[in-house]
Amino acid sequence: MAEADRFFSKLGRNYKPGVITEIVLAAFDMQRKGKRLISLSGGSYDPPSFPITEVKTLLQEAPDAAWREILQYGSNRGYWRLREALSKFMEQRGMKADSEKEILITTGSQQALDLLARVFIDEDDIIGIGSPTYLEALSIFNQFSPQFLTVPVDENSLDLDLLEENLRSLKAQGKRMKLLYTVPSFENPTGAVMPQANRKRLLELAEEHDFLIVEDNPYGYIAFDETPTTPIKAIDESGRVIYLSTFSKIVSPGLRIGWVTADEELVGKMSLAKSSADLCSDGLSQYVASELLSRGIVEKQIKRVTEVYRTKRDLMLETMETSFPDEAKWNKPRGGLFLWVTLPEGVDASKMVFEAVERGVAYIPGSEFFTDPSKTNYMRLNYSFPSQEDIVEGIQILGKLLKEKL
Ligand SMILES: Cc1ncc(COP(=O)(O)O)c(C=O)c1O
């Protein structure tokens, strides 16, 4: 139907295709024309590392009683065996979570973000976010029209001095920040890690200024050069931290298994929102996830992808050294999936991406991760998905394009 705008809600009208949708469309167009596109854009899994044999085996071995559970409606909180297995998985990482009351299984952690936005954010609530931060969290929060308190992110993640200054100034005006969203371990997009002392200080600030911390941790398990940092949740004594995590980066994004761990009352409310969103998560995926955990395959996958991603990171860094212009600067990620490139001011990576796609390589323009659209001189590059050959070729193409622009 043409001109359907009159039917859309206020929220519906706000869903607009952004640069990423355009990149995806351009990529499809390339495919149609039979041209190859190297993707350094998304956060997808290394295809050869999927635990294919293991998943096939565990499904073949599933007894009829399990199939009767898999094929039936399940609990809105998630499959009990999966919650129990996750409780143990988290205990090994210093977090205590009662599998009955404090864990909710979600359709990826993306759904957890959506549920928590519904449950906690009203229009004009003050919500703290890093600048830059995970772009899809920004778009979910935006649906509820909050006011963002943006906190600059450097290699130590959030600038807590500035956060504290802002919190004091809010207090002086009789206002309060309700919730702070952070990805403290190998952040998307910058790869930053919040030091342990800062995690403690952030909790103290939350206590003093009465806000909740949403700790989104998809990447913390993938640590290249160090033991993974202790989650903020592990040192949270007063139940202020809502911990989100996912199978997407360590096992499979296609299974769509995420989870939330938080205080009983907070999880209870999110479970009610989950019921209204989709009644319960997919039974087959939850069964697979619980078996992968209890058979020790998740831990093996974490080790496996950490090795693969370290090698790919090193290859990307090496190729950038020889191909990128001197004016471009980038970090050496200590974990996670992404490399963050800073270009000289004035270079517009959002415009340049379409030329890059034309030449056969896609990346995500950094501006997508800021609330301020003028921050255009950044690029996020992914090394987990592309093959080693594609990393070398993709970086060489980008390097040539950048040299022409600078
Ligand atoms: C920081 C962060 N949070 C949440 C997600 C959502 O992941 P999923 O819904 O696949 O679990 C992603 C995906 O890239 C992410 O980077």
CA 365 to ligand 1 centroid distance, Å: 17
Ligand 1: residue of 104, 110, 222, 249 to mutate (most ligand atoms within 8 A of CB) is: 110
pLDDT category of residue 387 using cuts at 50, 70 and 90: very high
CA 214 to ligand 1 centroid distance, Å: 13
pLDDT over 90 for what percent of the chain? 88
Threshold 0.85, pTM exceeds: yes
Closest C-alpha residue for ligand 1 atom 6: 110
Residue 20 or residue 381, greater confidence: 381
pLDDT in tens, 12-46: 988 887 777 888 788 778 878 888 899 999 899 99
Structure tokens at 302: 């974490």
What is the pLDDT, as a whole number, of residue 151? 98
pLDDT in tens, 358-378: 999 999 999 999 998 889 999
Residues with CB under 6 A from ligand 1: 43, 108-110, 134, 183, 188, 216, 218, 246, 248, 253, 258
Cα torsion 156, 111, 85, 294 to 10°: value is: -100
What is the Cα–Cα distance from 124 to 31, expressed in whole angstroms? 43
Question: Locate tokens 């959030």: which residue?
Answer: 158
pLDDT in tens, 95-105: 999 999 999 99
**Beta bridge pairs of residue 19:** none
Q: Is there a contact between 157 and 194 (Cβ–Cβ < 8 Å)?
A: yes
What is the pLDDT, as a whole number, of residue 272? 98
